[in-house]
Structure formats: structure tokens, C-alpha cells
């Protein structure tokens, strides 16, 4: 008998021995392998995606207003300035800073009072009250500018939002304006930039929307800080009075009204919504706890203890 016949015979004997061993075992112990789907799997596959078995999308717990209230947490949209490690470290430092100082919600047009350290002041601190005319930049470089007219002299101070020398930030009047920047107040009448340094805070009811002040300022005659006729401003009343035909033609020549329809330009200017959700989900728990502590302190300040009657 050749070696080939011997190998075939040995294989057949092994197969017969295996069948005899499994003959007395229960059917559940025998493993069967098939390429067909199981009934449960096939039923789930055939089910409609709109049925009750379809997985439901989880609703985000981050409020949609975070992108406006905490705008400085969003990174710079310019690709050449992006660095994920630096952005993550900056967000951690910003949260640590917010744990030590209350940085309230305010916008361009709000009246804010800032108390900062000043080595040349009498009490080593200085307090400035003014209207916020600009908020710009992001991360630890976020800054804002306050303007006030004191003794008929316009004064502007630029503050870094996360500057460690800031001791207190108070919002005396929370409101918005029609424009994203109020730099044109430099060329407006002084009455639109004059605020009392002893102004009392105006407290809004909790949960009420931020009011929009639709006042339109009156500009002084030229010369101006900029060519405001080219900026499409909504909060200025008398631009046309100080703009002649030649300046108006130049403004129309350089105008680009099609930019508001340029989707790619808008995409390059902003952070995608998916990335915004990822960033705010990362910092939501700490910001939410800080908000609760701020609301608790606000209720304590607004509560007036009744006097005991005689």
C-alpha cells in the first residue's frame, strides 16, 4: 500500500472517530457555522431606519448661546494660526482664570466697569467705567476697549480679558447695538460716550433676553477716524450729510455687496459647528458650575433683608 493510500485511510478513520464521539453529545454542544444571517440580525437589517428600532441621535446639552457668550474659547479660524495643543492649553488656563475672577457676559455696546491693579494709584487700584466699543481676538489674547468722556476729553482703555492684573469686571448695563464695532463713537458727539463714573448697575430679570439698543448716533463734521461711508453702518444717522458725490462714488466703486453670498469666505471666517460643539462639550461642565455659582452670588446681592419692625 502506497503512502497516499495510507494518508487517505488515516483521514477517513479520524473522521469516523469524530462522528462517533459527537453522536452521544446534545445538539446544543455541536457548533455549526453558516454564512446565513441569524433571524434577529436579518430582521434588524430589514427594518426601516425610520422605525422604532432606529437609534435616536443624542441631543447636545451645550446651550446654543455659548458660541456668543464664550466666543473667546473658539480658536482663530485662520489655518496658519491653528495649533491644537496650544489651543487646549489655553482653554485650560482660561478656565483656571475664570475660577479666580468673575468674567460676566457682555457685548459691544454694554456699559462695563473694570477694576485693575495700578502701582501709581493711591490705593494701588484704579476703576474705569465706559462703553465697550470693540471685542476682538481669541484665546488668552482676547481683549476689549472701553470708552468714556471725562472732562470733555475722550478716554479709551484697552484691557486683556484674561489679564491677571484685572481684579473685578462689572456689567452696569447689559445691551447690544446694531453694529459689531462702535469705533465710530470716536467721531460722534460726546453725549453718546459719556457715562457717570458712579453709575449704578441695571439688573435684568433672570432668563430675559439681552436687549438691543437701536439708537443712531450723530457724527461730528469731518475729518473722521475712518471713511465710515464705506462700512455700511446701521447705527449712524447722518453719514449722508457729510458725504459729497465724489466720496459716494468712491464708496460704491469699492463696495463688495456680493460678499454676503460668498459661502467659502464665510466658511474661512468661522469655525465649523461640529468643532464648536466638540470644544464647548469639553469645557461645559466647568463653565456650568461657574455659572451656577455666579447666579447664586447674584441672588444674594439682589436680596434685601427686611428690617425688623419695632
User: What is the pLDDT of the chain when averaged over all its residues?
Assistant: 85
Residue 181 grid cell: 464695532
Q: What is d(CA 288, CA 59) in angstroms, rounded to the nearest whole number?
A: 17
What pLDDT score does 17 carry?
A: 73
pLDDT of 310 higher than 60:
no
**62 vs 239, more confident:** 239
What pLDDT score does 62 carry?
A: 86
What is the longest distance spanned by two Cα atoms in the chain?
125
pLDDT tens-place string over residues 4-21? 566 666 766 766 776 666
4-11: long-range contacts, CB 8 A cutoff, minimum separation 24: none
Lowest mean pLDDT among 26-30, 92-96, 222-226: 26-30
Percentage of the chain with pLDDT > 90?
64
Instruction: Tell me whether the omega of the peptide bond preceding residue 302 falls within 30 degrees of 0, making it cis.
Output: no
pLDDT of 96 higher than 80:
yes
pLDDT tens-place string over residues 180-202? 999 999 999 999 999 999 999 99
Cβ-Cβ contacts under 8 Å for 281 (sequence gap 6 or more) = 60, 61, 62
Domains in the chain, start-ordered, CATH in brackets?
65-289 (2.30.30.790)
Sheet strand arrangement including 153-160: 153-160, 143-150, 125-136, 111-117, 166-173
Using the CB atoms, write b or e for 184-196: b if 16+ within 10 Å: bbbbbeeebbebe
Amino acid at each position: 500500500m502506497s503512502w497516499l493510500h495510507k494518508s487517505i485511510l488515516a483521514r477517513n478513520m479520524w473522521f469516523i472517530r469524530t462522528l462517533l464521539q459527537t453522536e452521544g453529545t446534545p445538539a446544543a454542544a455541536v457548533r455549526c457555522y453558516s454564512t446565513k444571517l441569524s433571524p434577529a440580525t436579518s430582521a434588524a437589517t430589514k427594518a426601516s431606519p425610520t422605525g422604532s428600532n432606529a437609534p435616536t441621535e443624542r441631543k447636545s446639552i451645550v446651550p446654543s448661546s455659548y458660541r456668543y457668550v464664550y466666543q473667546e474659547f473658539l480658536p482663530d479660524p485662520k489655518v496658519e494660526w491653528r495649533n491644537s495643543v496650544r489651543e487646549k492649553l489655553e482653554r485650560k488656563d482660561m478656565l483656571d482664570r475664570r475660577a479666580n475672577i468673575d468674567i460676566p457676559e457682555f457685548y459691544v455696546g454694554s456699559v462695563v466697569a473694570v477694576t485693575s491693579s495700578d502701582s501709581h494709584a493711591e490705593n494701588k487700584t484704579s476703576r474705569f467705567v465706559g462703553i465697550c466699543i470693540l471685542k476682538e481676538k481669541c484665546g488668552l489674547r482676547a481683549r476689549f476697549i472701553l470708552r468714556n468722556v471725562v472732562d470733555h476729553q475722550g478716554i479709551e482703555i484697552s484691557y486683556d480679558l484674561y489679564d491677571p492684573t484685572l481684579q473685578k469686571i462689572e456689567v452696569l448695563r447689559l445691551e447690544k447695538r446694531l453694529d459689531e464695532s462702535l469705533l465710530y463713537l470716536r467721531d460722534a458727539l460726546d453725549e453718546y460716550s459719556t457715562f457717570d463714573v458712579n453709575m449704578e448697575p441695571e439688573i435684568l430679570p433672570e432668563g430675559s433676553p439681552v436687549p438691543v439698543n437701536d439708537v443712531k448716533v450723530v457724527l461730528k463734521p469731518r475729518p473722521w477716524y475712518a471713511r465710515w461711508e464705506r462700512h455700511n453702518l446701521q447705527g449712524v444717522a447722518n453719514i449722508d450729510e457729510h458725504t459729497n458725490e465724489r466720496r459716494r462714488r468712491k464708496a460704491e466703486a469699492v463696495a463688495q455687496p456680493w460678499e454676503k453670498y460668498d459661502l467659502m469666505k464665510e466658511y474661512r471666517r468661522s469655525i465649523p459647528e461640529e468643532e464648536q460643539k466638540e470644544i464647548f462639550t469639553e469645557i461645559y461642565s466647568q463653565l456650568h458650575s461657574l455659572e451656577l455659582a455666579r447666579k447664586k452670588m447674584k441672588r444674594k446681592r439682589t436680596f434685601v433683608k427686611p428690617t425688623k419692625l419695632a
